[in-house]
Amino acid sequence: MDKSIKILGLIAVIMISSLLIFAVKKSDSKNENYLKEGDKNTSETYQIKALKIPENLNFAGERVPTENDDIKERIDRELLVNTYWQSNTMLFFKRAHKYFPLIEPILKKNGIPNDFKYLAVIESGLQNVTSPAGAKGFWQILDATAKESGLEVNSNVDERYHVEKSTQAACDYLKAAKARFGNWTLAAAAYNAGNRGVSGKMETQKVSSYYDLLLGDETERYILRIVAVKEIMSNPEKYGFIFEKEDLYTATPTKIIEVNTPITDIAQYSKDLGINYKIMKLHNPWLRENTLENKSGKSYQLKIPVEIR
């Protein structure tokens, strides 16, 4: 009887092993078919294409020399990066619809080419961000540069976060750089590397064009990133960006409240106006604390929504 049980057990083990081997083979076969189908579906529905470099690219009306192999490769890189980093570039479109109407009139008033709005896009993505070097706001202005431009910068108020005022400060810098270098391309490069940084490199390398300069990676990419973003944002469907107007962000209509006295508690002040602290800070990000000290009796303009919800 023990011998019979052993024989039956051995037969059962052999049968189970055979079934397992068959199941594994069948599973492998299914996986292979799945992978083949997956590969096929991916290639049919998602294609990463090389991009054609457009002819006659320009920045602020100044031609980009794409016949130069180095420049061609560099603009190709920026077009590829900004086309295929789809989520980031889609956010550029969305935010631009909200903020370009604030920036464009200030550029025009100052005689700055409209293309410089794309400088703000590549600097900050149209967000009030802070760089590792301490530059802040849409235009990424350093503390010393901001103060030279007349912006108030301290722990209580930082007007680098004020879109209109920081745009004006950027215009002042760009106009001075244009007067110094003679063209807008070098003025834009100087915005990134500083006037001394650019003029020093030009003197050392004995060249007069941005496109002939050997610069650090960030500044070498700078103008071509602006040109690439301008090209893509000017031709969204050409680069595969599809959206409706209602998909884009819009600015909440606001009204201005003049304040020339201190505010000891901005949260309570906001509540008294029918809004909250968060709404006040969203519309006035240059307010950095829960107080407005205003020791000098300066007149500030606060934005609050026209419709209080």
Confirm whether 123 is domain-assigned.
Answer: yes
Would you say residue 51 lies in a domain? no
Q: Are residues 242 and 258 in the same domain?
A: no
Asked if residue 227 lies in contact with residue 75, where contact means CB atoms within 8 angstroms, the answer is yes
In a domain, 152, yes or no: yes
How confident is the model at residue 34, as a pLDDT? 47
Show which of 218, 247, 276 is a domain's final residue: 247
* Residue 309 structure tokens: 């919800």
Residue 46's φ and ψ, nearest 5 degrees, are -140, 115
194 conformational bin, left if phi > 0, alpha if psi -120 to 50, beta if neither: left
186 and 89, same domain (yes or no): yes
Longest Cα–Cα distance in the chain: 107
Q: Which domain-ending residue is among 247, 272, 288? A: 247
211 plus 294 within the same structural domain:
no
Same domain, 79 and 223: yes
**Are 267 and 239 found together in one domain?**
no
Contact residues for 130 (Cβ-Cβ < 8 A; gap 6+): 136
Domain limit, last residue, from 202, 225, 247: 247
Q: What range does the domain containing 104 cover?
A: 58-247
Residues 148 and 4 in one domain: no
CB of 76 closer than 8 Å to CB of 53: yes
Does residue 237 share a domain with residue 147?
A: yes
CATH of the domain at 229: 1.10.530.10
Residue 250 CB contacts under 8 Å (≥ 6 apart), including other chains:
97, 98
Whether residues 37 and 138 fall in one domain: no
Do 104 and 17 have their domain in common? no
**Which tokens go with 109?**
């008033």
Overall number of domains in the chain: 3
Q: What's the distance, Cα to Cα, between the start and end of the chain in Å? A: 87
pLDDT of residue 268: 98
Rounded distance, CA 146 to CA 124, Å?
A: 16
E strand residue ranges, the chain: 58-59, 62-63, 254-259, 300-305
User: Would you write out the chain's pLDDT as a tens digit for each of its 309 residues?
Assistant: 455 545 555 555 555 555 555 444 555 554 555 445 555 556 667 788 999 999 999 999 999 999 999 999 999 999 999 999 999 999 999 999 999 999 999 999 999 999 999 999 999 999 999 999 999 999 999 999 999 999 999 999 999 999 999 999 999 999 999 999 999 999 999 999 999 999 999 999 999 999 999 999 999 999 999 999 999 999 999 999 999 999 999 999 999 999 999 999 999 999 999 999 999 999 999 999 999 999 999 999 999 999 876
* Residue 40 one-letter amino acid: K
Query: Residue 53 domain-assigned?
Result: no
Among all chains, which residue has been given the structure tokens 């003025």? 187
Q: Does residue 200 belong to any structural domain of this protein?
A: yes
DSSP, res 284:
-
pLDDT of residue 189: 97
Does residue 63 sit in the same domain as residue 211? yes
The predicted pLDDT at position 307 comes to 85
91 within domain boundaries: yes
Cα separation, 179 vs 187, in Å, equals: 8
Any domain includes 263: yes
| Whether 181 contacts 198, CB under 8 Å | yes
- Do 12 and 64 lie in one domain? The reply is no
Among candidates 134, 116, 128, which has minimal Cα distance to 283?
A: 128
Same domain, 210 and 264: no
